[in-house]
A and B are shown apart, each in its own frame.
Chain A
Amino acid sequence: MTIDLPTAPALSLVPKADAPQTAKDFKSDQEVRWCPGCGDYAILAAVQSFLPELGVRRENIVFVSGIGCSSRFPYYMNTYGMHSIHGRAPAIATGLSTSRPDLSVWVVTGDGDALSIGGNHFLHALRRNVNIKILLFNNRIYGLTKGQYSPTSEAGKITKSTPMGSIDYPFNPISVALGAEASFVARTIDSDRKHLVGVLRAAAAHEGTALVEIYQNCNIFNDGAWDPLKDAGIREDNLIRLEHGQPIRFGRDGQKGVARRDDGMLMVVDDVSECGGECLWVHDAHAAEPSTAFALSRLADFTTLEHTAIGVFRDVARPVYDQLLAQQLDRAAAAGPGDLAGLLRGRDTWTIG
């Protein structure tokens, strides 16, 4: 499916660029200071190379971030940006987006920023369906504070703050987002540029809040966390690539798939030839009901990463908060603009003198 972003309704109110832009236009003059080898570099490069596709004016793009390694992102983008405080970026972006419909607003956050300290704002941004795009860099560790477990770390993980192993049960960000009524939920991987850009494109075209979880490698404190999904020879059996309208097949030779059981639950089929491919579930990202998307998010084993689905889990149209707010303002203004003198005077006055 090709998406023509400049004409996408999600960007309809954002002024268009006068001339084509390149990735270079989106690079700021600041020296990038992530650790050498950090997965963030790949995501930054992918975003910078992708943004020209939006076809909107650079000055109408804003990146808002919280705190953490990923949240340094706005400094490296030659757009408007705010590096805010821990966990609060979705709230700040909500105020900016709802008051400025002419902006394309992006939130950059991490697993700790979005799911621990900022959990509440994350949930409510998704519920409201504000027109913001949230890029959640998930490396399953606290990097900037130097190596404590995060809310997505696997149970039993040995870290600086859990020398005997973490006894926290991890969040599955996709499941959380679907439970929070998100209208767009997707997952991708830092090292797969093509897939990453494809997901960004779908997110940018989506009207409302889009959550993109990006599996990102922290090579200092949690190196190789996603290797089962990256290493050739293993990844094929672990990674399930979701494509809207396509039967879900995976495995080295596409011999595996996802089918629906008689009781309605999803199951992994190790040899699809047994049912001649007929039994495979056809992925529908636009399904009104989120249960199947949720079930897809639950196929993965969070420790081994076996059966991890990536791609767009859910992409449905739902009224966008910004538009609903704008409509209420328009409706109120239809009766005529506010009259300050009339407001101050009210209906019950008396005169002296």
Chain B
Amino acid sequence: MAKPVVALEKVIIRFAGDSGDGMQLTGDRFTHETASFGNDLSTLPDFPAEIRAPAGTLPGVSAFQLHFADHAIATPGDAADVLVAMNPAALRSNLHHVRRGGTLIVNKDEFTKRALEKVGYAADPLDDGSLESYNLNAVNLTTLTVEALKGFDITKKEAERAKNMFALGLLSWLYDRGTEGTKAFLRAKFGRKPEILAANIAAFEAGWAYGETTEDFAVQYEIAPAPLPEGTYRNITGNIALSYGLIAASQLSGLPLFLGSYPITPASDILHELSRHKQFGVRTLQLEDEIAGIGAALGAAYGGSLAVTTTSGPGIALKAETIGLAVATELPLVVVDVQRGGPSTGLPTKTEQADLLQAMYGRNGESPVPIVAPQSPSDCFHAAIEASRIALTYRTPVFLLSDGYLANGSEPWRIPEVAELPDLHVDFATEPNHVDEDGQPVFWPFKRDPETLARPWAIPGTPGLEHRIGGIEKADGSGAISYDPDNHDFMVRTRQAKVDRIADSIPPLAVDDPDGRARVLVLGWGSTHGPIAAACHIVRSEGGAVAQAHLRHLNPFPANTGEVLRGYERVLIPEMNLGQLWMLIRAKYLVDAVGYHQVRGLPFKATELADQIRELL
């Protein structure tokens, strides 16, 4: 007999287990089924930097949080409603992420004396009453999985490893997710190992059946699809969206895409993804170091490619000198920084937005570089196109500041029509653009477009336009080496003016203030958009008035930024750093903005931000 079905508006599930337990895969599959079902969703993978820390230890725990709902949501959620804990370490390190009254689904088999001692449990939390305020479901996941796979020609160890599929099956039943997508996925993954494939599918189905029959789970839940705008959707992570944005920019500009890169967490997936798409003429080079990565990209830019380098904060430090060369030579170059916790190696797998000032100022000399920051995983697609547009139009390096949360987090994305995307067509210089003293036509590499101040892009192979560029200061116009004081002063100011002029081509800063009576503005940038939006939603639902504005362009700022800021009595700037945008805004606009800062390697919780907003109301 079918169990009763309870309708929910939203659920936050957290999967946690050993690094080897396949929790990222389990979370990812559940996300795919949830996306296909039409819920809005947001995910947060939370894993250690170590590949496999010792089994059963706290540092080895890998988690994946998924928030899904029947309405539009902006964050992976604050406190989980459900925690799936595959061992004592996972329970111990993740319990504080679960709300009181939440559901715990725990793999009881792993709660042995030795495993408990390893993570500092003096008594078994499943028996000692310490979890009374939760809805505890201790399930023998390993035993049940091994039982279900008895007839298969696989080892006990292989059978045990399928326990994540059992858990996935159980959760899929509990929340009425589809099963076909996961089965298709398994078929693709294990197609060459029929026994393993059959075992995984059997474990998955056994988990589903267990939910249906056991008395431990009395009800099934239903979360209706969210009323999102019409369109065709897919689920996408920030790194994939960013990769697609670069491929799209290449197609839209008609220039071949060139990526010079060096592996670094959490940016490597962009290198991996782009290297799979050579049919678009994409060249990906994994160079010997970060410096060579950007060096090769700059060489390709000189040759007429849409050139990109991808890295994280430590790599930007190494690339700084070459970014300066790109500023001096005025060549288009997209520099992707997927920010992570710093300084130095810091927290490689955790998120932070503390590279803003490095992007702004981290070079010798006056070296202005435009900065674009995406605000959500799917927005990485459009931000990559925008960064490419600025680079190609203004002949400048451009920073694209993503972060670890955007890179690995995912959300549903309304797939755009290619025809909706901007035209990035570029005209290379083909003719002399000046007449010398003898009346001869000549090419001047630093004779600028009067509107954009961009210099002409003449690529090697163009007859008659042979010229030399380099890091030494060049004379305005002719591009000959120049040590002239007035020329240097002019060139420094002109490079700055060129970047400032980009403000003419970007949309004004928009404010979200539903009833128009807010006196407090929350200003953010980058991946804090979701938590800030959710916090504003909380405050507004209590009757509070608060406005939200989010900066996509951080250099230059939109032209109306000062005007917007001065329209509010209080301005709150939450950042996952110690106040970098806050400092820039205060310095530039003389606005007494208030900062709120966390550098915990995790996105803001909406409830915490809501507290900060309430204090200013």
Closest to B460 in A: A80
| Minimal beta-carbon separation of B516 from chain A (angstroms) | 30
A332 CA to B292 CA in the complex, in Å?
A: 26
Kindly state the separation between the CA atoms of A100 and B296 in the bound complex, as whole angstroms. Answer: 12
Are the CB atoms of A82 and B329 closer together than 8 Å?
A: yes
In the complex, 11 of the A-B residue pairs with CB atoms within 8 angstroms, ordered by the A residue number, are A30-B480, A59-B463, A91-B292, A94-B285, A96-B302, A100-B300, A329-B278, A337-B280, A348-B181, A352-B230, A353-B231
- Does B358 touch A at the CB level, under 8 Å? no
- B230–A353 contact, CB under 8 A? yes
What is the 8 Å Cβ interface bit string for chain A, positions 70-102, against chain B (1 contact, 0 not)? 000011011111111100100111111111101
**Top 9 A-B pairs, shortest CB-CB distance:** A353-B230, A83-B470, A91-B295, A95-B299, A95-B296, A338-B280, A332-B278, A96-B299, A92-B299
CA distance A95 to B228 in the complex (A): 43
- Assuming A91-B291, A95-B298, is B36 touching A350 (CB within 8 A)? yes
B233 touches A349 (CB 8 A): yes
Q: Find chain B residues with CB under 8 A from A351 CB.
A: 231-233
Chain B: minimal CB distance from A312 (Å): 26
Name A325's closest neighbour in chain B (CB-CB).
Answer: B283
Give the contacting residue for A350; candidates B233, B244, B321, B465; CB below 8 A. B233
Chain A residues in 8 Å Cβ range of B279: 332-333, 335-338
- Over the window 56-71 of chain A, the binary record of Cβ atoms lying under 8 Å from chain B Cβ atoms (1 yes, 0 no) is 0111111010010000
Q: Are A99 and B303 in contact (CB under 8 A)?
A: yes
Interface set, chain B 455-477, CB cutoff 8 A to A:
460-472
Q: Would you call A60 and B181 a contact (CB within 8 A)?
A: no
**A340 to B303 Cα, complex, angstroms:** 24
- A83 x B468 contact (CB < 8 A): yes
Contact A82 B468 (CB under 8 A): yes
Query: Given that A59-B464, A332-B278, A338-B277 are contacting pairs, would A95 and B297 also be in contact in the complex, using a CB cutoff of 8 Å?
Result: yes
B388 within 8 A of partner (CB): no
Q: What chain B residues lie within 8 Å of A96 (beta carbons)?
A: 299-300, 302-303, 460
Indicate if the CB atoms of B248 and A344 lie closer than 8 Å: yes
CB distance from B422 to the nearest CB of A (A): 13
B292–A120 CB distance below 8 A: yes
- The CB with the most chain A CB atoms within 10 A, among B228, B283, B466, is that of B466
Question: B107 — which chain A residues lie within 8 A by C-beta?
Answer: none
Q: Are A94 and B299 in contact (CB under 8 A)?
A: yes
How many residues of chain A have a CB within 8 Å of chain B?
61
Distance in angstroms between the alpha carbons of A333 and B233 in the assembled complex:
27
Residues of A within 8 A of B302 (CB): 62, 80, 82, 92, 96
At the interface, yes or no: B359 with Cβ under 8 Å from chain A?
no
Produce 1/0 per residue, B310-325, CB < 8 A to A.
0000000000011011
B residues apposed to A, CB below 8 Å: 32, 35-38, 181, 225, 227-235, 244, 247-248, 251, 256, 258, 260, 277-281, 283, 285, 287-289, 291-292, 295-305, 307, 321-322, 324-325, 329, 415-418, 460-472, 480-481
Contact residues in B for A64 (Cβ distance below 8 Å): 299
Residue from A81, A95, A352 in contact with B229 in the complex, judged by beta carbons closer than 8 Å: A352
A85 CA to B302 CA in the complex, in Å? 15
Query: How many angstroms from the CA of A294 to the CA of B117 in the assembled complex?
Result: 60
Does residue A121 face the partner (Cβ distance < 8 Å to B)? yes
Residues of B near A344 (CB, < 8 A) are 244, 248, 415-416, 418
Contact B462–A82 (Cβ < 8 Å): no
Find out whether the CB atom of A80 lies under 8 angstroms from the CB atom of B467. yes
A interface vs B, CB < 8 Å?
A: 15, 28, 30, 57-62, 64, 67, 74-75, 77-85, 88, 91-100, 102-103, 120-121, 123-124, 325, 328-329, 331-333, 335-338, 340-341, 343-346, 348-353
- Please name all residues of chain B whose beta carbon is closer than 8 Å to the beta carbon of A30 when the two chains form the complex: 468, 480-481
Given A329-B278, A350-B35, 17 other A-B residues pairs in contact with their CB atoms under 8 A: A30-B468, A81-B470, A82-B470, A83-B469, A84-B295, A88-B321, A92-B298, A94-B292, A95-B285, A96-B460, A98-B300, A340-B251, A343-B280, A344-B418, A348-B235, A349-B233, A351-B231
> B296 — nearest CB in chain A belongs to which residue?
A95
Residue of B nearest to A332 (CB): B278
Tell me which residues across on chain B come within 8 A of A325, comparing CB atoms. Answer: 283, 285
- Chain B residues with Cβ under 8 A from A333's Cβ? 278-279, 281
A71 to B36, CA, bound (A): 58
Cα A58 to Cα B467 with chains together (Å): 11
Q: Which residues of A contact B38 (CB under 8 A)?
A: 350, 352
B471 x A84 contact (CB < 8 A): yes
Task: Establish whether residues A88 and B303, one from each chain, have CB atoms under 8 Å apart when the complex forms.
Answer: no
The answer to whether B305 touches A74 (Cβ under 8 A) is: no
Of all chain A residues, which has the CB nearest B413?
A: A344
On whether the beta carbons of B296 and A84 are closer than 8 Å, the reply is no
Given contacts A95-B300, A338-B277, A340-B247, contact A349 B232 (CB under 8 A): yes
Asked if B288 contacts A121 (CB within 8 A), the reply is yes
- Closest Cβ of chain A to B410, distance in Å, is 12
By a CB distance below 8 angstroms, the chain A residues around B304 are: 99-100
Q: How far is the CA of A348 from the CA of B230 in the complex (A)?
A: 17
What's the nearest-Cβ distance from chain B to residue A65, in Å? 8
B303 contacts which chain A residues (CB < 8 A)? 95-96, 99-100, 103
Nearest Cβ in chain A — how far from B47, in angstroms?
Answer: 23
Among B281, B300, B329, B468, contact of A80 (Cβ-Cβ < 8 Å): B468
Give the complex CA separation of A78 and B466 in angstroms: 6
CB pair A88 B322 closer than 8 Å: yes
Bound together, the chains give a CA A102 to CA B303 distance in angstroms of 10
For A67, what are the chain B residues with a Cβ–Cβ distance below 8 Å? 471
Which residues of the other chain, B, contact A349 by a CB distance below 8 angstroms? Answer: 232-234, 415
Question: Which residues of chain B have C-beta atoms less than 8 A from A121's C-beta?
Answer: 288, 291-292, 295
Question: Which residues of B are found within 8 Å of A337, using beta-carbon distances?
Answer: 279-280
List chain A residues, Cβ under 8 A from B472.
83
User: Given A95-B303, A120-B289, A333-B281, are A348 and B32 also a contact pair (CB < 8 Å)?
Assistant: yes
| A99 contacts B470, C-beta separation under 8 Å | no
Complex: how many Å from CA A343 to CA B297? Answer: 24
Give the residue name and chain of the B residue nearest to A65 (CB).
Answer: B470
Q: Are B292 and A100 in contact (CB under 8 A)?
A: no
Q: Which residues of B contact A335 (CB under 8 A)?
A: 279
Bound together, the chains give a CA A124 to CA B292 distance in angstroms of 10
Q: Is the CB of B256 within 8 A of A343?
A: no
Inside 8 A of B298's CB, which chain A residues have their CB? 84, 92, 95
- B469/A82 in contact, CB under 8 A: yes
Known: A59-B465, A83-B469. A124 touches B415 (CB 8 A): no
Closest to A18 in B: B463
Partner of A85, one of B32, B258, B322, B463: B322
Instruction: Name which residue of chain B comes closest to A76, CB basis.
Output: B468
With both beta carbons as reference points, the residue of chain A lying nearest to B307 in the complex is identified as A95
Q: Could you tell me the distance between the alpha carbons of A170 and B325 in the complex, rounded to whole angstroms?
A: 30
How far is B480's CA from A343's CA once the two chains are assembled, in angstroms? 45
Cα A57 to Cα B325 in complex, Å, equals: 27
